Each structure stands twice: as C-alpha cells, then as structure tokens.
Amino acid sequence: MSKKELFKQMLEQAKAQSFYAGTGNPESKILLIGKEVAIDDHEGKGKVQHEREFINNISNWEKDIYKNPNEIQNWNGLNYTPLYPYKGQILKIDNKKEGINNNRGTNRTWYNYQKLCNLIFKKENNQIIDFHEHFFITELNATPSLKTATADKKTVSSRLEFIKSSTFFQSFPVVIIAGLGYLEISEYKNEVEELFGVKFLEKRSAGGVITQPYWVHYSEDRKKILINTRQLSMTVSDKLLSEISSVIHESGLV
C-alpha cells in the first residue's frame, strides 16, 4: 500500500474518532510529534484560527489530499491548507504582536522546526519556512491549548493508541517526539518504546548541557530511528538542533 493510501486510511480513522490528523507532507520520511496544537481562546480571538487549523483539519485534507506541496500558492488570507499552512513565511520570528507591520515571520516553534529542517537537509542558506515539504507534523494531545500547563490532557491516552495502531504513523523511518512529560518513561514502563516498537539506546545532553537532553531509540532492524526530546520552542539551543540532525544523518534513513 502506498504512503498516500495509508494516509487516506488514517484520515478515515481520525474522522471517525473526531481526531486531529496533522499538517505537512504525508509522503515525507520524517514524522515530528509535538504536544498539542498551540491555539488558545477558542471562542474569542482564536476562534477563526481554531476552526481553520483544527476543526476543519480533516475536511481541508479531504479537499487537498491529491495535491503536492509545489502546487500550493503563498498564503493570501483565504487559501489555508494543512498540506502547506501559511506558505510564504520567512525565517524570522513573527512581529505582529508588537503592533508593527507584519514581517512575514513565524512563531518560535516553527522557527526551530525550520532550523532543524535546514540542518537535516543541509539547506545552509535557506531563509524560507518550508519544513512542511519535508516533515509531517502531528500532536500527542488531541485538544488544542496555547500552554501545556493549562492543557486538557484527557485525550492523550486514546491519542497514543490511535498513533500506535495507525499504519501511516508507523510507516515513518524517522520519528522526532518533542513532548517530554506526556509519555511515561520509568523502570517499569516505557511508552516511547511501546508507541513505535523501538528500543532505547542512549540519553545525551547537547553540548553537555543537562537542560538540553534527547533520547535516541532504534528498531531492532535499524530501519527506524526515534528521538525523544523537549518541546522545540522557547528554550531550545542551536546545539540541540544540530546534534539531533547529526544523529539522523548518521542513521542513513533520510
């Protein structure tokens, strides 16, 4: 079964369970899993964004499922697609909240996703946000929240089962989980291993800094690598992104 067919199958499962599917390129080799969609105030200022990005995620995919990333036009305020959301952003932090002219930048998390993408694919001079061409992105929690501390986490356990049972999600050779705290990891239970059928290899600290940890896992046949780390947002170092990209290069899976 092709990757596109597996994706269509996953969409049907997500629709039946009223689950969020994700964004980015379903035919890519890298699955990046965050904690939850970062949208707040669903009934106020964030209502339009919530409907566009979350509520309509499946229906938007059904509309664009046969498109390729290069067919998507730059964002014009009306042409949203989960295949390539807000295409046309550049590698800067969005300055709209400062009350000045929009610099076409992006949020901190997407900024770091792009820096990681540039490192993995050796796009040294790239200054546009195009990681959606190279990653598929989904979340551990099916309930949006701007902050993890206030997130409703009731859906996490069913969401983990959904990811575990999905042939589409299991088909990626490279998985990055940026969601410390949402998976139980102890001497008695390791949900990272259980979720993707991998075994823990080594814990590392980027540049020797303990606040920049990442855990490396492989499948027994070495056809899948999984890296578990912190949210790729405010306090992520360039060294952490660089070391993660190096481990992925060494795997030979991209």
Q: What domains appear along the chain, each with residue ranges and CATH number?
A: 3-251 (3.40.470.10)
Q: What is the pLDDT of residue 226?
A: 98
Higher per-residue confidence, 225 vs 156 = 225
Q: Are 87 and 70 in contact (CB under 8 A)?
A: no
58-87: b (≥16 Cβ within 10 Å) or e: bebbeebeeeebeebeebeeeebbbbbbbb
Q: Is the pLDDT confidence value at 69 over 60?
A: yes
Q: What is the pLDDT of residue 147?
A: 73
DSSP letter for 75, please. Answer: P
Q: Is the pLDDT confidence value at 185 over 90?
A: no
pLDDT band at 196 (very low <50, low <70, confident <90, very high): very high
Beta partners for residue 28, in sequence order? none
125-144 pLDDT, tens per residue? 999 999 999 999 999 987 77
DSSP letter for 203, please. Answer: E
Q: Is the pLDDT confidence value at 86 over 70?
A: yes
Q: What is the mean pLDDT of the chain?
A: 91
Place of tokens 């046949």: 221
* Tokens representing residue 95 in the block: 């300055």
Distance CA 176, CA 71 (A): 27
222-237 pLDDT, tens per residue? 999 999 999 998 789 9
Q: What is the pLDDT of residue 47?
A: 85
pTM, to two decimals: 0.94
Higher per-residue confidence, 70 vs 36 = 70
Q: What is the pLDDT of residue 143?
A: 77
pLDDT band at 208 (very low <50, low <70, confident <90, very high): very high
pLDDT band at 43 (very low <50, low <70, confident <90, very high): low
Rounded to whole angstroms, the maximal C-alpha distance in the chain is 52
Distance CA 229, CA 109 (A): 14
Place of tokens 């899976």: 253
Least confident of 44-48, 115-119, 248-252: 44-48
Q: What is the pLDDT of residue 253?
A: 98
Angular region, 178: left φ>0, alpha ψ -120 to 50, beta rest: beta
Q: Is the pLDDT confidence value at 179 over 90?
A: no
Q: Are 7 and 26 in contact (CB under 8 A)?
A: yes
Q: Is the pLDDT confidence value at 149 over 70?
A: no
87-132 pLDDT, tens per residue? 999 999 987 765 555 788 999 999 999 999 999 999 999 999 999 9
